[in-house]
Amino acid sequence: MKLFSVFVLLVVLALDPVLTSPTPDKISKEARSHGIAFDGQFPSSASIYIQAPSGTFFCGGTLISELFVLTTASCIQGAVLFTVRLGSTSLGSDDLVTVVADNYYLHPDYDSSTLQNNLGLIQFREPVKDVEYVRPAYLPTEPLDPESIYVAVSWGSFTSGNGNDLNYATVTIVPNDECMVKSDSLACGVSEDDEGLCWGTMGNAMLTVLDAKDQWVMGVASFGLANACSPSDPYVYVPVFPFVDWIKAVTGIE
């Protein structure tokens, strides 16, 4: 665990204080497909610009409370400053919330050589207010289900890695031996929609989605296998459920 002093700058740019949810028909139709997310479809999604002594990096993350973003430990280890952007589906948009912080936690059993327990938390100094298109995701109450369908989000195109938009695709869980992952603490997600999980996926969520309001972060994207842009190659996720007690202990989430 690493704890640093915090400096947070919160900028809210003319946002409506009430979340405008898409209609249930729109959610149910699009949640089981793929494409570019519409405004408010995944209101917990975060883009994270990371400054470290070795350079500047980019990862995704998931807002899980007014004070915390969940991402991978490998994204944030050694960082000195984070710029976290919330409330937009485009990296080029100004219509969002920007938070600058330098306080983070790594899971105490994180192993950078094997990427075991690859979860981390970024903490804000001041809570993010409930504004349009910004809403925390819930923590899971049950493990990943191989029979269920989840929604993976990614910054950039799934097929090429190019672009500035938040993309999404439905994924299913495949047995670890099918994707050459030996650890039971990891899970492999494969797209249902002929969409590879590509650049900009690391740190982003695999979600259970009912609608824009009710979403659960079930997994955090850790790394890709082989050519991760290929639809046939899985992306490896850290299942969140086994880590819920640690997350709650750090964040104070009930």
Sheet of strand 45-52, all strands in order from the earlier edge strand to the far edge: 9-12, 97-101, 81-86, 45-52, 55-63, 68-71, 120-123, 103-106
Structure tokens at 80: 């000195």
Q: What is the pLDDT of residues 79-132, one digit of tens each?
A: 999 999 999 999 888 778 999 999 999 999 999 998 899 999 999 989 998 788
Report the C-alpha gap between 225 and 218 in whole angstroms: 20
Structure tokens at 2: 């690493």
CATH of the domain at 198: 2.40.10.10
Residue 222: half-sphere exposure toward Cβ, Cα within 13 Å: 26
Instruction: Please tell me whether residues 125 and 207 are part of one structural domain.
Output: no
Contact 173, 18 (CB under 8 A): no
Residues for the chain: how many in total? 254
Instruction: Please tell me whether residues 172 and 195 are part of one structural domain.
Output: yes
Residue 29 lies in a domain: no
Q: Which residues of 139-175 are buried (b: 16+ CB within 10 A; e: fewer)?
A: bbeeebeeeeebbbbbbbbbbebebebbbbbbbbbee
pLDDT band at 228; cut points 50, 70, 90: low
Instruction: Please tell me whether residues 105 and 156 are part of one structural domain.
Output: no
Q: What is the DSSP letter of 179?
A: T
pTM of the model: 0.83
pLDDT at 198: 61
For the chain, give the percent of residues with pLDDT over 70. 75
For residue 168, the enclosing domain spans 150-241
| Mean pLDDT calculated for residue range 148-153 | 90
Report the C-alpha gap between 171 and 248 in whole angstroms: 27
Residue 20 lies in a domain: no
Q: What is the pLDDT of residues 40-73, one digit of tens each?
A: 999 999 999 999 998 999 999 999 999 999 999 9
| Overall number of domains in the chain | 2
Residue 87 lies in a domain: yes
Instruction: Please tell me whether residues 247 and 215 are part of one structural domain.
Output: no
| Mean pLDDT calculated for residue range 154-174 | 76
Closest Cα partner for 74 from 175, 224, 244? Answer: 224
